[in-house]
A = this chain, B = another copy of it.
Amino acid sequence: MTEHMEPIRVGLLGLGIVGGGTFNVLARNAEEIARRAGRRIVVTKVGERDVARARARVGNDVAIEADAFAVVRDPDIDIVVELIGGVTVARELVREAIAHGKHVVTANKALLAMHGNEIFAAAREKGVMVAFEAAVAGGVPIIKAIREGLTANRIEWVAGIINGTTNYILSEMRNRGLPFQEVLAEAQRLGYAEADPTFDIEGVDAAHKLTLLASMAFGIPVQFSRAHIEGITGLSGVDIKHAETLGYRIKLLGITRRRPDGIELRVHPTLVPADRLIANVEGAMNAILVHGDAVGPTLYYGQGAGEEPTASAVVADLVDVTRLDTADPNHRVPHLAFQPEALADLPILDIGDVRSSYYLRLLVADQPGVMADIARILADNGISINAMIQSPDAGEDSADIIFLTHEAVERDVDRAIELMQQLDTVRSDVVRLRMEHLA
């Protein structure tokens, strides 16, 4: 270790779960980290409204400011770690840190998915780094993999389980045959889901993360507002069971894919063949599949949340930033993987233009001609059928039918569903789920 180098001084904003974990990991592994970084990384100041709580946590050697702005403006701080969350105060703090010439490390996916373009531009102008490995998949170094590990590739698609709460809920629904609401309540009791779980279960958190992954995979600006987002609240246990019978599992996937005319950017429950590794990612774990033209499929797996897994990514960013602190900014990896002047202006496709395979379930009258009518509607709309099963569970004189389609354009599927609903013999809303083979 280059003992003569001054330690790098970190200002830590927010001493909640991840902030506390970051403080602990930096302290516990200080020796190991310095042996790698060649320099000590020391939290010298903490910004935390609850000063007493912070004092109890960090001891007497660290300065504590109730006003986080006092930390970002402190000339003795080299790197600001933003772990407050949210997109209002955090945005101001990050901008202010950059304006004061400080590097920023953050786990704030919402902030970067919504305001990343502005933040990265400001950082570039001031010659500072904004590192955000912790923003996606916790401790799994997926941002480093995409941004640095796969630079040889034209990346074709990324598909990931990037929200642990929903993966936990889906795993429990499948393994124990319980309905969504019951599992959610249990997840809240166990701390796997927050008191207000909206962002998780509605897919918003996954969409924040996917937005960042898409930008780095394809070299496009962040465009969260263009993401198509469906959560798991409407998902029925019946469809999880049918999927299983058909050899699939249902996962909430974030999927982004390059098409000739633009980029797909979508989060929704997805049927995946049960023999894929990603279909077997259980509980609160995360996994991301990245497909590059040279490397083929690669997968990255680990804990996507929690105190120390997330801190692992924050500290890895601190080591990276420490290494390049005094370097010419040209040597640094661009925030969104591509040189800022080389970003592409590929549009994000409308969900209607997305291509996928589909799972369609409908309750129909058990009488001759029904199947022919439905098959005709599908054919007329250019949708070809891959498999069809009739469920034995339906009531008297009606039958639950499931179609699996080959790849089709979503707009065509929407039109076909509309036409099916107009048939007298179709007695329920058509359940429509997307299906991806990820090969």
Contacts and interface: CB of A to CB of B under 8 A. Distances in A.
Interface stretch (A74-82, A133-141, A353-361): A133-141
B152 A141 contact: no
Interface in A288-328: 292-303, 308-309, 311-316, 318-320, 323-324, 326-328
A36 interface: yes
Given A144-B144, A309-B296, A152 B338 contact: no
B294 A337 contact: no
A150 B316 contact: yes
Given A152-B29, A299-B299, A339-B36, A139 B294 contact: yes
A56 interface: no
A150 B141 contact: yes
B148 A315 contact: no
Contact of A339 (B2, B297, B313, B332): B2
Contacts of A387: none
Given A144-B145, A302-B299, A339 B294 contact: no
A151 B1 contact: no
A151 B37 contact: yes
B299 A301 contact: yes
Chain A: interface size category: 35 or more
A341 interface: yes
B333 A154 contact: no
Contact of A277 (B29, B144, B281): B281
B303 A300 contact: no
A315 B1 contact: no
B139 A295 contact: yes
Contact of A298 (B301, B311, B318): B301
A303 B312 contact: no
Given A144-B145, A280-B277, A338 B36 contact: yes
Nearest to A291: B302
A31 to B, nearest CB: 9
B139 A36 contact: no
Nearest to A140: B298
Given A133-B149, A319-B151, A311 B294 contact: yes
A32 interface: yes
Contacts of A313: 152, 295
Interface in A14-33: 21, 25-26, 28-29, 32-33
Interface string A242-283: 000000000000000000000000000000000001001100
A181 interface: no
Contacts of A33: 151-152
Interface in A113-146: 133, 138-141, 144-145
A320 B38 contact: no
Contacts of A320: 148, 151
A145 B154 contact: no
A422 interface: no
A342 interface: yes
B309 A295 contact: yes
Interface in A205-250: 219
Interface string A172-197: 00000000000000000000000000
A333 B133 CA distance: 17
A391 interface: no
A133 B295 CA distance: 13
Contacts of A314: 152
A389 to B, nearest CB: 26
B316 A152 contact: yes
A386 interface: no
B148 A296 contact: no
A153 interface: yes
A334 interface: yes
21 contacts: A25-B294, A26-B152, A33-B151, A36-B334, A36-B337, A38-B330, A38-B339, A140-B295, A141-B149, A144-B149, A151-B320, A152-B315, A294-B312, A295-B308, A296-B303, A297-B303, A300-B300, A323-B330, A323-B331, A324-B331, A327-B327
The 5 closest A-B pairs by CB, nearest first: A141-B149, A152-B315, A139-B295, A298-B302, A35-B342
